[in-house]
Structure 1
Amino acid sequence: MTVMEALALTSYEETCSGGLQRLRDRLRRGRAEALSRPPILTLSEWADEFAYLSPETSADAGKFVAFAYQNGMMDAVTDPSVRQISVMKSARVGYTKILDHIVGYFIHQDPSPVLVVQPRVEDAEDYSRTEVAPMLRDTPVLAEIAGDLKAKDSNQRILKRVFRNGSSVSFVGANSPGGFRRITARIIAFDEVDGYPAQGAGDEGDQIALGTKRSESFWNRKIILGSTPTIDGVSRIQKAWEESDQRRYFVPCPRCGHKQTLRWENLKWDKAEDGQHLPKTAHFRCEAKGCRIEEHDKPRMIDNGEWVAAKPSTGHAGFHIWAAYSLFPNAAWQYLAEEWLRVYRDPSQRKTFTNLVLGEPHQEAFEITDPEALRARCEPYNDETLPDDVRLITYGADTQNDRIEITFVAWGMDDEAWVAVHHVEIGDTSKIDVWDRFDAVISSRFKTESGRVLVAQAGCIDSAGHRSEMVYKFCRDRKRRRVYPIIGRGNANPKQPRQIWSKTPTRTKNSGDKPYTVGVDTAKDDLSSRLAILPQEDRPNPRAIHFPAEGLSGDYFEQLTAEHAVIKYVNKLPHRKWEPKTVGRRNEAWDCLVYALAARLSLPVKLRSQPATPKVPERATDEPEAPETEADRAEPVQITPPPRPVRQRPRWNMYR
């Protein structure tokens, strides 16, 4: 209260009649009120007293009630001995609400500049609109500070909100090169760091380093990292968590009281007499005495749990939490068991389960390094005795100056694959006659055991490096036959792998031709996991790859295992890429298999949930019949032809 305010509250008579002492008392009380601050609460106390859930972001709108494990994570933010917090988590554990409360706390209790970094600018805008704005509207203590969010106020923008008490919140996308400039913040919250572009924020460098640098002027700064992990050895949140004190949530067994963490390998369920899984019976087994822990025991266990660090504290608190601890209805143990039973046979879906349910990084791929192990798996078939399960054929070709190598692959249900033959066409690839012979090879017909005749439905030819113009001309004249020129590209961002097959081509700089891009690193990861599947006889083998006893060159399997995946650091960022094991080692067979997979993905045909064609029974009579022609026996898969290319009108050149 100022002197002028005090005088305004004091009548003229009171001042003139010697009420100066009363005026001094009022000034003293006003100064004390101005200097006093609301009581400083921990973040969990603040959330318990003030936080509300908005109907746009929660199924149970209203007063926020924390899960017990959330309190320990929130209180680390307001612990003066902790300078950094790293949370490696799964989905469905309520981490987004913790992030919301961090923003709300430092607006209301401890006014400070806050910076929230999302993977993309679009994510930052969406978080500001859908999470922060409803929280400012529906949390009474924040609504008083924020005022009318709909008013045309220059301080209330989507990517930066400034409040009347001096606090502010900025939102930045990790893919924005200039997003970190001109920002100073005490609280830096990095959300979903494993989704950040691996090459950094343009030319600016690593996003976490850039954001952390924005807080160097604050002695009491806080750095918060949270994310679902991705690839083992590449995951940023995994690295941060390993550098922390590594806290896990220990819960007591409701039967014997032994404190333990919930581990996936201890989640069990019963089986029926016929061997059918019963996920509704999902329960945990106590690791001490084998006690059966049921779903209805979970709330009491969580309420009585505690965070326990595995390493001494150095000011970096790390938390690992996964879906089994969550009290959300959709995280019941029954549903986790059902999810596992749906995906455990599919390596790609199993990766997603590991990341989003277990909250752990996954091992990217099994690498087959022994060529003899693959050679020993050869089966007694060839290009004229393919299994009747085969539905279509594609090929991949690699061009060299003196030869063209081609691998034909037959495909069945659920992407089961049979390598049909690997052919090498010798000759100078700058000569037309070599390409004429190659055209005859890719027009070859293949037979199944029952006599069906198949022809290749699509093929990819590498156009980078050797005879590019010859490849473009060859493919240009055969578009209707789905002969595609391709260019292989690695993963610029391992957190967001490049698609194996791009649906739209890209124009080259020096040519009007449009080659298609193939994500070779992604394809090699996929094929590596397929090669790790050991095919079983007399049963479907989804995604498995078979090899014939005939039709492969002597060094075919050496070429197939010529590369391995390595982790390299570029600008201190980890990149996983495939490289030759030794310089100069041949790998054409490996590349051809990659291109044949890309050709398969170019076809709009899904070979799933269809019964295999039974073998044609032997004829019951010896009566002579009219001989069948190859055209009569051919049963190619019906595929909608690609649309004819649209001729674009040339642009008018005003300088001509």
Structure 2
Amino acid sequence: MNAAAKINARDYLEIYQNPEAHRVSLKHLDLFIGDQAFQAGMNSILNTTLQIPPFKPMEEWVFENIELANNKSTRPGPMRLTVYQREVALAINDPNVRQIVVAKGVQTGYSKFIKALYAYTVSYLALNCAIVNSTKPDAERYYKDEIAPMYKEVMALKRLIRKPLKGDVHDTGYEQRFANGVNTYIRGAYTDDAFRSYTTWLNIGDEVDADGWQPRANSIGSKIEMFRDRGTDFYDSKLLIGGTMGLTHRSIINAQFLLGDQRRLHVDCPHCGTQQELRWGQKKDANGKRPEYGFRWEINEGGFVVPGSTHYQCDSEEKCRITQEEKYAVH
């Protein structure tokens, strides 16, 4: 039993009535060393635990959190954004940009970029997100092939998967509710119902020039405008629409692209440093001659592309050859 436990009520009364007789001096104690240790401990906490971590832009977060498998990519390992994807990612992180339009070619990795953006928005930004494909079957396929596998492969998302309790709303391929309070929606654009009854910060449209995005006879208006309205509860909401352009006169992508600043993708050659617009370079002139710049490849006798022959011909006097392996050094 310690000394403090032996003090009874009468002792407390005596101390209360005669405090001077029981006063203890601490002048002989040196508290300097203890104070130093306390200050050092507090400074350590302030500089580590209590520090707000620096904001991670999308490109950095994706590289750290998304791993591409051998059976799903020709470049397995940490996901690295390509040059055009980096520009879109920068626009996503720019608070002054509200709408992004991507007029693209085929097989440029746009769908893969979308799923990475989805994971970043849900798990890091913790904001509601919607992805709208052309039709309901397209939406179902995209969910099964691209989104659902991430719930097992991307740990940042896997940790947020709920286990619904009795009475809770269960998740489906069209609506997902996460443990951090984020809701996501995947829809097909064919009917106007795809743009009702949800509120989202990020709204992503894929293959916007496909028929599903065209207004039907009973549509109440532009589907792009209805989609944009899903974000009006957020002062800084984002609308990202992209796709391969179809016929110019009915192209939604072209019309929306012309409303923006109409940026073209410019890159620096990793060899000579010449800045140039990245162009296909296959269109022949009146004499049937192709330009000296652009994408090039060789075809063998069987009609197949010769492995390793694909490259980009630089638009400079040096006519540098930018290979497949060097494309990640292009900025």
TM-score, normalised to structure 2, is: 0.70
Does residue 219 of structure 2 align to residue 203 of structure 1?
A: yes
Alignment map for 1:37-52 (pairs within 5 Å): 39-52=54-67
* Paired position in structure 2 for 1:239: 255
SS where residue 250 of structure 2 aligns? coil
Residue of structure 1 aligned with 2:105, choices 90, 93, 108: 90
The reply to whether residue 300 of structure 1 matches residue 317 of structure 2 is no
**Could you tell me whether the CA contact under 8 Å between 2:162 and 2:177 is conserved in 1?**
no
Aligned residues: 268
1:104 aligned to which of 95, 119, 126? 119
1:185 match: 200
Deviations 1:217-257 (A, max 9, x none): 11010111111111123211112222222223323345543
* Residue pair 1:267, 1:282 contacting (<8 A) in 2 also: no
Letter in 1 for 2:315: E
Q: Secondary structure in 2 aligned to 1:178?
A: helix
Report matched runs for 1:210-609 at 5 Å: 210-253=226-269, 256-263=272-279, 264=281, 265=291, 266-267=293-294, 285-289=313-317, 291-296=318-323, 298-300=324-326, 302-305=328-331
Shift of 1:179: 2.6
Measured against aligned partners, the alpha-carbon deviations of 1:61-102 in whole angstroms (never above 9, x if no partner) come to 543222233222212111112111111111222111211122
In 1: Cα distance, 2:315 partner to 2:252 partner? 31
Q: Deviations over 1:566-603 (max 9, x none)?
A: xxxxxxxxxxxxxxxxxxxxxxxxxxxxxxxxxxxxxx
Q: Kindly tell me: are residues 49 and 270 of structure 1, through their superposed partners in 2, closer, same or farther at Cα, counting changes over 3 Å?
A: closer
Please name the residue that 1:114 is paired with. 129
CA contact (8 A) 1:283 1:295 kept: yes
Deviation string, structure 1 residues 519-549 (Cα, Å, up to 9, x no partner): xxxxxxxxxxxxxxxxxxxxxxxxxxxxxxx
Residues 342-386 of structure 1, C-alpha deviations (whole Å, 9 max, x = no match): xxxxxxxxxxxxxxxxxxxxxxxxxxxxxxxxxxxxxxxxxxxxx
Deviations 1:436-476 (A, max 9, x none): xxxxxxxxxxxxxxxxxxxxxxxxxxxxxxxxxxxxxxxxx
Shift of 1:60: 5.2
Cα drift, residue 185 of structure 1: 1.1
Instruction: State the 1:198 CA deviation.
Output: 1.9
| Superposed displacement of residue 170, structure 1 | 0.4
Take 1:96 and 1:269, find their aligned partners in 2: how far apart are those partners? 25
Task: Give the counterpart of 1:159 among 167, 174, 178.
Answer: 174
* 3-state SS in 2 of match to 1:199: coil
Q: Distance in 2 between matches of 1:251 and 1:62?
A: 24
Shift in Å, 1:147: 4.6
Aligned partner of 1:461 in structure 2 is none
Larger strand share, 1 or 2: 1
Match of 2:158 among 138, 143, 158: 143
Which SS does the other structure have where 1:216 is aligned?
A: coil
**Alpha-carbon distance in structure 2 between the residues aligned to 1:201 and 1:138:** 42
Contact (CA 8 Å) 1:43, 1:105: kept in 2 or not?
A: yes
CA RMSD of aligned residues (A): 3.5
CA contact (8 A) 1:56 1:134 kept: no
User: Separation in 2 of the partners of 1:61 and 1:55?
Assistant: 5
How far apart, in 1, do the equivalents of 2:218 and 2:53 lie?
43
Q: Judge conservation of contact 1:57–1:130 (CA < 8 Å) in 2.
A: no
Aligned letter for 1:171?
I
Cα distance between partner residues in 2 of 1:270 and 1:110: 41
Give the partner amino acid of 1:287: D
1:119–1:250: structure 2 CA closer, same or farther, 3 Å change rule?
Answer: same
* CA pair 248-303 structure 1, distance change in 2 beyond 3 A: farther
Question: Does the CA-based 8 Å contact 2:203-2:227 persist in structure 1?
Answer: yes
Aligned partners of 1:104, 1:98: CA distance in 2, in Å?
10
Q: Alignment identity in percent?
A: 27
* Runs of at least 5 residues in structure 1 that lack an aligned partner in the other structure: 1-12, 14-28, 272-276, 306-656
* Distance verdict in 2 for CA 1:200–1:270, change over 3 Å: closer
2:297 and 2:325 map into 1 onto residues whose CA distance is: 22
Change (3 A) 1:129 1:37: farther
Q: Alpha-carbon deviation of 1:282?
A: 6.4
Name the CA distance, whole Å, in 1 between partners of 2:140 and 2:52: 32
Counterpart-to-counterpart distance in 2, 1:99 and 1:135: 12
Amino acid at match of 1:304: V
SS at match of 1:203: coil
- SS of the equivalent of 2:181 reads coil
Which protein is bigger by CA-based radius of gyration? 1
- Report if the CA contact (8 A) 2:245-2:253 is conserved: yes
Q: Give SS of 1:179's match.
A: helix
Helix, strand or coil at the partner of 1:171? strand
- Tell me the distance in 1 between the aligned counterparts of 2:170 and 2:54: 27
Q: Is the 8 A contact 1:136 1:142 kept in 2?
A: yes
Kept in 2: contact 1:190–1:226 (CA 8 A): yes
Higher relative contact order (CA 8 A, sep 6+): 2
Q: Assess if the C-alpha contact under 8 Å between 1:54 and 1:134 holds in 2.
A: no
Q: Return the letter of the residue paired with 2:125.
A: D
**d(CA) in 2 for partners of 1:90, 1:159:** 27
In the other structure, the counterpart of 2:36 is none
From 85, 91, 95, give the equivalent of 1:70: 85
Counterparts in 2 of 1:51 and 1:200: CA distance versus 1, 3 Å? farther
Query: Secondary structure of 1:107's match?
Result: helix
Distance in 2, matches of 1:154 and 1:212, equals 26
Change (3 A) 1:220 1:267: closer
Q: CA deviation at 1:269?
A: 6.6
Give the distance between the partners of 2:220 and 2:152, measured in 1 at CA: 35
Counterpart AA for 1:233: H
Partners in 1 of 2:297 and 2:172 — Cα distance?
54
TM-score (norm 1): 0.37
Partner amino acid for 1:44?
Answer: E
